Amino acid sequence: MRKIASIIAFCFVLNALKAQDTLPKFTIKDINDKKILITWTSGFGDNCIQLAVQRSFDSTHFFSTIYSAQSPELPQNGAIDSRMPKGVKVFYRIFYVLHGGQYFFSKSVGVYSFDQINKNIKQPPPIQPVINDIKVEDLPKSPVIVNTPPQVIQYLSIYKRTTDTLYERIESKSFKHLRDSITQKKDTLLRIDSANFIIKPFIPKPVWKASKFVFAIASTNSVTIKLPQPKLHKYRIVFFEENGTQLFEIKNPKEDDLILDNTVFVHGGWFSFDLYEDDKLKEHNKFQVLIPF
């Protein structure tokens, strides 16, 4: 008998799904004095990752889940509420979640748990549910919200340096906290549009530090070269103008302390150099010489 009842219920679901509007709209129908059929059509496909049918005796409060879909991605589905007392008006709504964390509540729809229309039977008074020994009718009344639109969570995309690198996705309510933290780091937050932003990291200006291998001495009007263990390593030093033009180079110096007179640099100003140790670049730096005598 149970198998026959299940087949009959399945037929009810199939018939109710025909020509039905898609979520968030759904259909409810009383089957008999103990069962109510809830059906829906989903247009979200695999994008729907969770779906539940919820029931309450109030149109806006005290909803509880009576059915959770094992396959929320199905285009058509339904559920049967078979534990309702006769003659009670109940309200149903559908809660569903999409990829990305967005979730929605449909508008609640009410129905009596056995339709008394066209029957000469006096309808019994509705049964008031009791929650923690407090009747719903004794609770403070709150305004009824009609046609409440589904709640949509807005997400913002935060990129770093360019739009090719997604840094994180946050809810719009967390944007102020992110902006404050970026300001404290001296980074810059640039707006692309209402939902996309780019973080430009703060880059401090480099502070020049004189080399300990090649450096100018103003008091002696010379450039000193100090190389560690020149007899054990192969050194080469290439000197350049400030604009990158090569001046000259020193190959295989054998002394650990060499002094160049400023006159070899022709003019005063900044000069750069590349120091190679065993054919590997050891240092790139610069120095300033005074105008030669």
Residue 148 in any domain: the answer is no
Clarify whether residues 184 and 231 are in a common domain: no
Hey, what are 259's tokens?
A: 């002094």
Tens-digit pLDDT profile for residues 160-176:
888 777 888 888 888 88
Clarify whether residues 192 and 279 are in a common domain: no
Clarify whether residues 86 and 177 are in a common domain: no
User: Burial code of 96-114, b = ≥16 C-beta within 10 A, e = fewer?
Assistant: bbeeeeeebbbbbbebbbb
Residue 194 in any domain: the answer is yes
Tens-digit pLDDT profile for residues 63-78:
888 889 899 999 999 8
Clarify whether residues 108 and 226 are in a common domain: no
Residue 205 in any domain: the answer is no
Clarify whether residues 33 and 63 are in a common domain: yes
Tens-digit pLDDT profile for residues 2-22:
554 454 555 554 554 455 678
Clarify whether residues 196 and 219 are in a common domain: no
Per-residue pLDDT, 47 = 93
Q: pTM higher than 0.85, yes or no?
A: no
Residue 147 in any domain: the answer is no
Q: Shortest CA distance to 272 belongs to which of 221, 227, 223, 235?
A: 223
Binned at pLDDT 50, 70 and 90, residue 121 comes out as: very low
Clarify whether residues 71 and 191 are in a common domain: no
Clarify whether residues 117 and 39 are in a common domain: yes
User: What DSSP string runs through 197-225?
Assistant: EEEE---PPPPP---SSEEEETTTTEEEE
Are 270 and 287 in contact by the 8 Å Cβ rule? The answer is yes
Q: Is 179 helix (H, G, I), strand (E, B) or coil?
A: helix
- DSSP assignment letter at 261: E
Q: How many structural domains compose the chain? A: 3
Average the pLDDT over 258-276 and give the result: 87
In this predicted structure, the answer to whether residue 131 has a pLDDT above a threshold of 50 is: no
Binned at pLDDT 50, 70 and 90, residue 34 comes out as: confident
Clarify whether residues 18 and 110 are in a common domain: yes
Residue 207 in any domain: the answer is no
Clarify whether residues 25 and 130 are in a common domain: yes
Range of the domain at 52: 2-138
In this predicted structure, the answer to whether residue 150 has a pLDDT above a threshold of 60 is: yes
Handedness of CA 15, 46, 6, 38 (dihedral sign): negative
Question: Residue 105 belongs to a domain with what CATH number?
Answer: 2.60.40.10
Clarify whether residues 104 and 167 are in a common domain: no
Clarify whether residues 241 and 134 are in a common domain: no
Per-residue pLDDT, 117 = 42
Residue 149 in any domain: the answer is no
d(CA 32, CA 23): 25
Residue 144 in any domain: the answer is no
